[in-house]
Amino acid sequence: MKVNLIHFITLLILGSQFSASAEAKLKLVTTTPNLAFAAKAIAGDEAEVESLLKGMEDPHFVDALPSFVLKAANADVLCFVGLELEVGWLPKVLSKSGNAKVQNGGKGFCDAGSTVEVLDKPAGAIDRSMGDVHSSGNPHYEISPRHLAQASKAITNALSETLPNKALLFESNRLKFVAEMKSLEAKTQEKLRRAFPSAENAQILEYHKEFTYFLSAYGIKSLGSIEETPGVPPSAGRIAEVALEAKNLGALLALASTHNPQKVLNRFAEVSGVPVVVVATSILLPVKPEAYAELQNNLAEQILTRAKKK
Ligand SMILES: [Zn+2]
């Protein structure tokens, strides 16, 4: 009996030590898997990184699920894409979480878009009649390695605020991440340049402006979006109009993401004769170290395959 009791106490002590070391790790929550990929690179072994979205969802339109609220409640740092991408659901998640650390002004409030050089900033005034316009500029920067590297600065800042004695480590991880993204961009650029020696040869449409950062990073001309109003499927008239224009300009292809309406995409391809290429814009969970480079390569390969057929 005595032996058993000692055994039991030993187990209790071991158990509490184990949970203490697990608790010592920071909890970093991101909204998207692409951000989780960047956050893992910066945090290294200092944080457990978890993404709210799995990667198949349309990040504009998701529900503020109770499971999201629970994760936000336990987070030390919460990183989001920003530029109003998650405006429809994240504010609800944050307020319901009751976690002061991750509210605006808290050390763990990590607006990753705040350190990005933003494209498509609207010049004039915005009103609701213009649809789901992102008034702070285009939030779809995660698809470009250069811009994801810029976002890692905000992640580094939030981690360093929360764990100041590891700030040097986070900064050195960030520099490595920036170099990794630079090399990925250079490799992709080289691949695309072989097919398009001049940007004039590569005219690409987007269903929603989700590829603008990617196209701009590689000097490919975007002919604009098939959508007239962001977040609203285009009318038959709009499809016909854009299709004619795309045909006349000799557009190479239209890019769409897996969560865009397939019916509209089919209709556009039918009317214009311009092929629509549907690609993933997010890596999936669980986040694997090579997944982001694969996402980038796949996007480039899909464009190249089309260019060769032309
Ligand atoms: Zn959008």
pLDDT, tens digit, 9 for 90 and up, residues 24-81: 799 999 999 999 999 999 999 999 999 999 999 999 999 999 999 999 999 999 999 9
Give the model's pLDDT for residue 306.
82
Q: What residue type is 288 in one-letter code? A: K
Asked if pLDDT for residue 307 goes beyond 60, the answer is: yes
Cα 161 to Cα 156: distance, rounded to the nearest angstrom: 9
Expressed in angstroms and rounded, the spacing between residue 211 Cα and the centre of ligand 1 is: 10
C-alpha dihedral sign at 117, 120, 125, 129: negative
Assess contact for 269 and 207: CB atoms under 8 A. Answer: no
What is the C-alpha R_g of the chain? Answer: 22
Cα 42 to Cα 196: distance, rounded to the nearest angstrom: 34
pTM equals 0.88
Expressed in angstroms and rounded, the spacing between residue 134 Cα and the centre of ligand 1 is: 7
142 vs 23, which has greater pLDDT? 142
Asked if pLDDT for residue 9 goes beyond 90, the answer is: no
The average pLDDT across 218-247 equals 92
Cα 42 to Cα 58: distance, rounded to the nearest angstrom: 26
Using alpha carbons, list the distances in angstroms from residue 39 to 6, 154, 263.
Answer: 43, 10, 36
Question: Among the ranges 88-102, 125-139, 198-212, which has the highest mean pLDDT value?
Answer: 88-102
What's the whole-number average pLDDT of the chain?
90
Expressed in angstroms and rounded, the spacing between residue 231 Cα and the centre of ligand 1 is: 7
Expressed in angstroms and rounded, the spacing between residue 138 Cα and the centre of ligand 1 is: 7
Cα 73 to Cα 100: distance, rounded to the nearest angstrom: 9
Expressed in angstroms and rounded, the spacing between residue 166 Cα and the centre of ligand 1 is: 35
Expressed in angstroms and rounded, the spacing between residue 233 Cα and the centre of ligand 1 is: 13
The average pLDDT across 229-254 equals 93
The average pLDDT across 105-133 equals 83
Expressed in angstroms and rounded, the spacing between residue 175 Cα and the centre of ligand 1 is: 29
Give the model's pLDDT for residue 280.
95
Expressed in angstroms and rounded, the spacing between residue 15 Cα and the centre of ligand 1 is: 46
